[in-house]
Amino acid sequence: MAKYEWLWDEARMRYYRIDHVAREHVYEDGNRMQMEANRPRSTPQDTEGQPVPSASATTRVVPPASTSATIVSSAESRSPTYQLVPGATAGAIERNFVVRAPSFFRLYRVFALRPIPNGLGSAAQTALLSILRAENEIISGVCRFVVIREANAEGLVLVLPILSYQRQGVAADGVTKHEHGIIHTGKNAPTARPNEEPSKRGEQSMMPNPIRVEQCDPTEKLDPMSRINYGRRTFIPITVPVHHVGEVHEGSRDHLHRQYRFVQEARNPQGQGRPEAQQEQPLRKQEDSRAAEARHYQSEYQRCKDKGLLEVAILQHLISVYQRTHSGLTWEQASAIVQSLLKY
């Protein structure tokens, strides 16, 4: 198969290649657009990958010689810069939908699935996803979700949907504005459009704190009109094929919890004894677990410091421990988490 040079279109948030014969831009989704006479051949790519804390906020810890970091970073920049790789094929940007291990569906995970994937193992799963498709008003394409509670005994994970409502945001008809919030990739959150502001008597605005997502693939950005729906919780079976989008950024996790609880409590003001209220207990336990983990690392840090170890040596030790106990994390990811635990 011939290899093409895939270029990034910042305006349309898509990759495209150039058909020089037809003088068209061919996008990764198959759409074609006539080349403009004065349009530059490519648009410079300025994407962000998994964020690395800035020098002003965290300590830059170099991994030991035995550890190889997989994220490129620079002391002069606040986040990594990823360059377009010439000759990348369409296969490099295809979404990988596969059945994942149960441990994949942990709290804060962001993943995607097709509304009705082909080859599901059971009719029950097909029916569930058909309902999901109808309720979320998604006719085609990919659905993205944020894990708000890990899988229960039935193998169902509780998630919140990420929707753009055909790029209208909460200005779309029938959308309850105050049950939504902005969710984004990249360091800077997009602003809401003027028509998304409350326009009717009694209407309230969106939740105030945007949620940031660290994407696995730096080229896979959320649409600027993406909105997280705190009011429509959905159960999804962990046996369906999904694509790994990323994780909720450390700095957004408290906002995610608080805004989710606010919306749910507003929807069920008398629901303390109902199943909905009981479902919040595992979420609180997970938060308590994080606080306990933070205390453990803070205690270990102080113990090493009392022994006279240098700070860089202490951090290398703690990061190595965290990386061993949380397989799949890069050195930079483990470093960011450990330093956030020390500041918890």
Confidence of residue 29 (pLDDT cuts 50, 70, 90): low
Residue 329 CB neighbour total at 10 angstroms: 16
| Rounded Cα–Cα distance for residues 123 and 273 (Å) | 33
Which of 27-31, 97-101, 321-325 has the least mean pLDDT? 27-31
Give the position of tokens 């397989």.
327
Average pLDDT of the chain to the nearest whole number: 73
Q: Is 223 helix (H, G, I), strand (E, B) or coil?
A: coil
Tell me which of 274 and 158 has the higher pLDDT: 158
47: which strand partners?
82
148 bridge partner residues: none
Taking alpha carbons only, the member of 73, 55, 54 closest to residue 63 is 73
d(CA 265, CA 315): 40
- Distance CA(297)–CA(290), nearest Å, equals 11
pLDDT of residue 281: 53
Domain boundaries, the chain: 105-267, 292-342
Inter-CA distances, 306 with 322, 334, 343, Å: 21, 23, 18
Flag whether pLDDT at 221 surpasses 80: yes
Interval 314-338 mean pLDDT: 82
pLDDT of residue 294: 81
Q: Give the contacts of 94 (CB within 8 A, at least 6 positions apart).
A: none
| Spatial CA neighbour of 317 closest among 61, 73, 71 | 61
Q: Which of the four pLDDT bands, split at 50, 70 and 90, describes residue 60?
A: low
- Is pTM beyond 0.75 here? no
**Lowest-confidence region among 21-30, 99-108, 207-216, 290-299:** 21-30
CA distances from 168 to 70, 105, 174, 227, 335 (A): 37, 29, 12, 10, 38
Q: pLDDT band for position 190 (50/70/90)?
A: very high
The DSSP code sequence of 114-128 is -SS-TT-S-HHHHHH
Determine the pLDDT at residue 75: 29
State how far Cα 166 lies from the chain centre.
20
Length of the chain counted residue by residue: 344
